Homo-oligomer: A and B are copies of this chain.
């Protein structure tokens, strides 16, 4: 990994490393002192080339509980490195539905909504009913017992009664950020 990162660095490209736990990060940072490590998102970045902005409106990044923040922030770092603007809407869960509904206009100002949620993963169903644009759901492994390490949230999101919600792998904040970039990239071309 250090080898790949160094080669990218030598070519003058930016580097994004994900799923880097604190222990491994310490080793990697010793070898690559330029790497900026964030513990919450478990990401490391080297930013040496300018990042052109992708799209004119931000992506809404929604999450329910504090346990979902590592995945949400991995997604945020991914989007930041791809030039995507971010509007964070954190701590809005379905069991406190009014905190979510109060943010309604905010959604209208964004191009894509990414929803990060664990446990029963009900949040994308509610948001998919409010928002007309693309909704990307990311299940997290937050929960215990029959949360099955994120499988219940994943299956709930795929079974969502809100039509046209699309889903990523469990804890895959990186993939969701990249998918948003795919949407914004296409928009620019046409």
Partner of A143, one of B101, B153, B159, B190: B159
Q: How many copies of this chain does the complex contain?
A: 8
Q: B161 near A144 (CB under 8 angstroms)?
A: no
Chain B contacts for A139, CB-based, 8 A: 145
Interface size, chain A (Cβ < 8 Å): 73
Q: A94 near B164 (CB under 8 angstroms)?
A: no
Given contacts A122-B156, A152-B159, A168-B167, are A186 and B134 in contact (CB under 8 A)? yes
Chain B contacts for A141, CB-based, 8 A: 145
Given contacts A169-B145, A172-B145, A189-B133, are A122 and B126 in contact (CB under 8 A)? yes
Alpha-carbon separation in the docked complex, A148 to B141 (Å): 13
Known: A111-B186, A120-B160. 15 other contacts (CB 8 A): A56-B190, A64-B161, A95-B160, A95-B163, A97-B101, A97-B126, A111-B190, A121-B156, A122-B126, A145-B154, A145-B169, A152-B159, A164-B179, A165-B175, A166-B175
